[in-house]
Each structure stands twice: as C-alpha cells, then as structure tokens.
Amino acid sequence: MMQTAIGIDGCRDGWFYFRFDGETATFGFSPTIAGIVDNLPVDACVLVDMPIGLRARGKKERECDRAAREMLGPRRSSVFAAPVRPILKAKDYQGALAQSRRLTGRGLSRQSWNLVPKIRELDELLKAQPELARQLLEAHPEVLFAGLAGGPMTANKTTRDGFMERMTILSILHPDAETLVASAFLAHGGFEAARDDVVDAFVLALCARKPTQLKTLPAEPETDPRGLPMQMVFLPGLRAG
C-alpha cells in the first residue's frame, strides 16, 4: 500500500499543497482545504500550517506556541499567537480585538486576525468531520526546519539567502526537491501561491512522510474543549529518503 503524505500551507486565496503517494509527488492549489483532504486514504498523514486546537478563553496562551517561539529564538516572531475560538465568529478586527481583551486579557495582532478566516475554515471542517483530527496535524514550517537542522534558520524565508538555506535542507531530504519546488512555482507562483508558500508546503509534506518519527511541542500536549490537541509536530534531525 502506498503511504499518502500531504503538506498544506494557507496562501492568498486558498491553500497550496504538496502530496506524496508513495514516491509520486503532486502539487496544486485549492480554494478550500476540504478540496484537498476529501476522501483521504486511511494511512494518510497531513501536516497543516494553521492552528488546530484552540482555547475558549483565559490568559494562558497555547503551550505549543510558547514552546515553538522558544525553539525558534531569532525566528520567534514567525509564530503568531493563536486566537481563542470565540474570536472566529468576529465580524471585524476591532470586534475581535475587544473580544480578545475581554476573554484573554491581551490583544490580538493584525497577523493573527488575518489568519482567522482560514483557522475558522479548518476548525469548521474538523467539527463537521471529527474523524479527520486523527490525520490532520498542526505544524509550523519554521519549527520543522529548525527541528531538521538542529536550530533555527539564520535568514528570513522571503530573502534569497533564506530561500537557499531552506532549499539546502530540502535537497538533503529529497533528491528532486529543486525540480519539484521549481515546477510548483512555475505553475502557481505569483498567481495562487508565493515562493515561500511552495517551500513551506513542501517541507510539511516531506515531514508528513515519516509520521511515526514525528515529535510534538510540547511533549505532552493539552487538549482544547473539543478534545483537539494543542500541539505542533516536528521531525528531529535530517533524515533523507
């Protein structure tokens, strides 16, 4: 049986993904995440760069967000605080900001607010199809790169140096990384997905190929009020193949 591994990254107008069915790699764009994970094989592992488990209220942020920032050090600003679930129903940023202050005692960044539509979409999908929670796991590309390399990246992913640094790691993990990333960007770059969306989706998919080797931040995750784990998974150490 061919193992299926998918990496999904939110992009401007939807979701970009890489998918491996055994050794066969495909990629594409979907306006909805449901369009990517519909009819998943039972063995599929899917890593998604989007918060999954969410608190309902309280001053304590998710432990996985705190642990990820600690792991990333100089790249810590790439981890946005996940909103509490009631904010997903907010109509605008000002309403969400006021609600966040009331429910958590802290504000809400514009970056976090910009993610709310996709967080809501994913949250509603998992509510409608709770069986998917076993296969869809939250991951953060920068955490994955840091786990693989043994430390955070030295350059921002949007820079030339940052791109080359990440591609070096991806090329160790997969012999055709450069070709696959270039093909995906040629097909979708500048239209549905940015270059870093393509790279992020690729590292998510590569790590999803080794589900039994994935570790979690934190090591013993909490669950949210719906029973979803508040965690980020990562793959420790460069592992080719």
Dump pLDDT digits (tens) for 69-102. Answer: 999 999 999 999 899 999 999 999 999 999 999 9
Report if residue 8 sits inside a domain: yes
Q: How far apart are CA 83 and CA 124, in angstroms?
A: 15
1 pLDDT above the threshold of 60: no
What does the pLDDT look like over 118-168, one tens digit per residue?
A: 999 999 999 999 999 999 999 999 999 999 999 999 999 999 999 999 999
Please report where in the chains the tokens 């450069």 appear, as a residue: 178
Report if residue 67 sits inside a domain: no
Please report where in the chains the tokens 């199809």 appear, as a residue: 129
Task: Work out the percent of the chain whose per-residue pLDDT is above 70.
Answer: 98
CB 43 within 8 A of CB 1: yes
Q: Which domain holds residue 39?
A: 4-52+136-211
Going by DSSP bridges, is the β-strand pair 215-223/229-234 parallel, antiparallel, or unpaired? antiparallel
Please report where in the chains the tokens 């976090």 appear, as a residue: 112
Report if residue 15 sits inside a domain: yes
Phi, psi of 103 (to 5 degrees): -85, -25
Average pLDDT estimate for 205-230? 97
pLDDT at position 190: 83
Average pLDDT estimate for 212-235? 97
Report if residue 147 sits inside a domain: yes
Going by DSSP bridges, is the β-strand pair 14-21/4-11 parallel, antiparallel, or unpaired? antiparallel
Report if residue 75 sits inside a domain: no
Report if residue 19 sits inside a domain: yes
Distances (CA, A) of 57 to 53, 83, 89, 195: 13, 9, 14, 35
241 pLDDT above the threshold of 50: no
Going by DSSP bridges, is the β-strand pair 215-223/24-30 parallel, antiparallel, or unpaired? unpaired
HEC string of the chain equals CCCEEEEEEEECCEEEEEEEECCEEEEEEECCCHHHHCCCCCCCEEEEECCCCCCCCCCCCCHHHHHHHHHHHHHHHHCCCCCCHHHHHCCCHHHHHHHHHHHHCCCCCHHHHHHHHHHHHHHHHHHHCHHHHHCEEEECHHHHHHHHHCCCCCCCCCCHHHHHHHHHHHHHHCCCHHHHHHHHHHHHECCCECHHHHHHHHHHHHHHCCHHHCEEEEEEEEECCCCCEEEEEECCCCCCC
Please report where in the chains the tokens 């999954």 appear, as a residue: 52
Report if residue 241 sits inside a domain: no
Cis upstream peptide for 218 (omega within 30°): yes
Average of per-residue pLDDT values in the chain:
95
- Name the domain count of the chain: 1
CA dihedral of residues 137, 141, 142, 148 (deg, nearest 10):
80
Give residue 209's identity as a one-letter amino acid code. R
Q: Is the pTM of this model over 0.85?
A: yes
pLDDT at position 239: 56
